[in-house]
Chain A
Amino acid sequence: AQTVTQSQPEMSVQEAETVTLSCTYDTSESDYYLFWYKQPPSRQMILVIRQEAYKQQNATENRFSVNFQKAAKSFSLKISDSQLGDAAMYFCAYDDYGGSQGNLIFGKGTKLSVKP
């Protein structure tokens, strides 16, 4: 069974600095999607960034970028120029697209605090 591990329960970053959140996963599939979601206190899960496994190029979305290492099964999220609004729970999620439909497998999450 696929698993997703986030080894950092909590992280802290100074405003305007850079922070990296770690995620590793385990799968025997070759084609899949990986996601980072942000969940602020408002509860809504917000998609931060998406990576397709067959694409070697790392995904970027403005201040957010990933370091996708397929062989190592690692998918870390880098947040540059951190802002107070980035404070939230961050979840890494795996989806084997077309295999287990709709079944996103989530890590336990990393709580990110941003200090002014």
Chain B
Amino acid sequence: KAGVTQTPRYLIKTRGQQVTLSCSPISGHRSVSWYQQTPGQGLQFLFEYFSETQRNKGNFPGRFSGRQFSNSRSEMNVSTLELGDSALYLCASSSEGANYGYTFGSGTRLTVV
């Protein structure tokens, strides 16, 4: 069974640009959530999608947005990049029922210069 796939692995962007990150969940998982990981703030929840609907959102500015497609793949977008957006972005897909839990991808390392 393939795991959670995040692309790209690394990105370098300039302040003011926008970026799109992609996440393909485990087959059959309908929920995808996104997290930002930084040395200072640790792991922070961005948002969660289930069947193409955003069910939950963390405390991030509107520059951070996401969406989910009918095949459960998800993208997150960050517009008008700031230096402080440099982070590891992790996505996780989750199953329900007896095997409830979260499986994470390897993340996308975003560097804003």
Contact = CB atoms under 8 A, between A and B. Distances in A.
Interface of A: 33, 35, 37, 42-47, 50, 91, 95, 97, 100-109
Given A103-B48, A103-B56, A45 B33 contact: no
A97 B102 contact: no
Given A43-B88, A45-B90, A103 B45 contact: yes
Interface string B75-113: 000000000000010101010000011111111010000
Contacts of B55: 101-102
Contact of A43 (B45, B49, B50, B107): B107
Given A44-B106, A50-B101, A108 B33 contact: no
Main secondary structure of the interface of A (DSSP, over half): loop
Contacts of A45: 90, 92, 104
Given A45-B90, A106-B42, A108-B42, A100 B56 contact: yes
A33 B97 CA distance: 12
Given A43-B88, A102-B50, 15 more contacts: A33-B100, A35-B102, A37-B104, A42-B106, A43-B107, A43-B109, A97-B100, A101-B31, A101-B48, A101-B56, A102-B32, A104-B35, A104-B43, A104-B102, A106-B42
A105 B43 CA distance: 8
